[in-house]
Copies of this chain bind each other. A is one copy, B any other.
Amino acid sequence: MAATEVLNGVNYFEGVEKLLEIWFTTSDGNHKSADLRRIPRAKLESLMKIVRCEIISFVKNEQIDAYVLSESSMFVSKRRFILKTCGTTTPLLCLEPLLLMAEQYAGFTEVEDLYYSRKNFKRPDLQVMPHQHFDQEVALLDTLFPDGAAYCLGAVNRDCWYLYTFNPLPHRLPTLPNPDEPDQTLEIMMTDLDPEIMSIFTKEECLNATEATKKAGIDKIIPNMIIDDFLFDPCGYSMNGVTKNICSDLEDGCYMTIHITPEPDFSYVSFETNIPSSSYKEIITNVLETFNPGKFTVTVFSNQLSPTKDTSKEVLFLNQLGDWQRRDVQQCSIKNYDLVYAFFCRFPS
C-alpha cells in the first residue's frame, strides 16, 4: 500500500501481505505476569529494520498496541504478536530476534501457536530471500519449528493461499488449556478492484487519510473503532482500527486493518479483523460493497469457544455471493481451529 517501488526497473508494488501471528506462553502455562507490550519501542524499531520497513503511526486501547508501518501493520497485545507486511519486506527474518525479545523483555519463553500466511504473490520474482517461493519460507520455518506444518489452500497453479502453522502438541506443553479464550479472524484479500474507488486512495483525489476513510465509507464497515489511517504520497492507504473500550467484553481488544494498493495494473486491498460475530455475512458484504473487487479470497479462522464457530462460515459455502461466483472452497482443522478458505470471481468473469 506504500507508494510504488521501482525494482529492477519494474514499476510494481506487491500489495499482497505476509502475515505472521504468534501466541506466546511460558513453559508452565502461567503467563499472568508476562506482557509483550513491555518490549521497548526502540527494540520494535530495530526489529522493523530487519523486516525492511518502519513504524509511521501508533494508536492503542487497553488491550492492544496498533502500529501503522511503512508497509502495512503490527499489533502487539499481552501475548499475541501480529505482523502484516507487504512489498518486498522480510518478516520471517525477524523471528529469531523476536523470540529473544519476547523472553528478555516480556517474560515469554514458549510459542504456543504460530501462523504464517499469505496469498500467492503476483510477482514472486521481485521478492527477496526467503520469500521468493513458499518452499523457501517453509525451509526457514522448519529450521525454527521442527513440528510445523505447511499447507496450500486453493489452486496451486492459479489463486491460492499459503499457511504455515506451528502448534506444539499437548505433550510438549502439558499444562496448556485447550483453548482458553474465544478467538477468530476474518481476512478478505481483493484484487482487480474498481478503478473509481481506487482513485480515492491517491493524493490527487484526497488531501489526507481522514478524507479518504470517509469518502470510501471505511469508517462504516465496523463502527465504534478508534481509527489510525495514513494516505501515502502519491498513492496508497493503510488503516488500523481498535475497539473503543465502551464495547462489550467480547469485543474488547478487537482490531481491524485495511491496506490498499490502488494502482490499476496491480490493485490490491486487504481487510482483516478479529471481531467476534455470529455471522460474517454482513461484514463481508460491507467490505465487498466498499471496494467492489473483481476477485477475492476469504479466510475465516475460529476456535471452539468463538461465537463465529458455527454460522460465520456458512456464507463461504454459497455458490454465489452477490455478483461473485465461488470458484474454490476448502475447509481444514488446525489444532483448536476450524479454517475455511474460499475464492470468488465476479460473474461472468
Contact = CB atoms under 8 A, between A and B. Distances in A.
A151 B142 contact: no
15 contacts: A134-B156, A138-B157, A149-B155, A149-B157, A149-B158, A150-B155, A150-B157, A151-B154, A328-B332, A329-B333, A330-B330, A330-B331, A330-B333, A331-B331, A331-B332
A122 to B, nearest CB: 18
Contacts of A150: 155-157
Interface in A122-169: 134, 138, 142, 148-152, 154-158
Which of A138, A149, A154: most chain B CB closer than 10 A? A149
Given A330-B330, A331-B330, A142 B157 contact: yes
Nearest to A326: B333
B328 A149 contact: yes
Task: Kindly state the interface size class of chain A when it binds its partner.
Answer: 10 to 19
Contacts of A151: 152, 154-156
Interface in A76-110: none
A257 B148 CA distance: 34
Contacts of A154: 151
Nearest to A152: B152
Nearest to A330: B332
Contact of A148 (B157, B328, B329, B330): B157
A299 to B, nearest CB: 14
A146 B149 CA distance: 30
A135 to B, nearest CB: 8
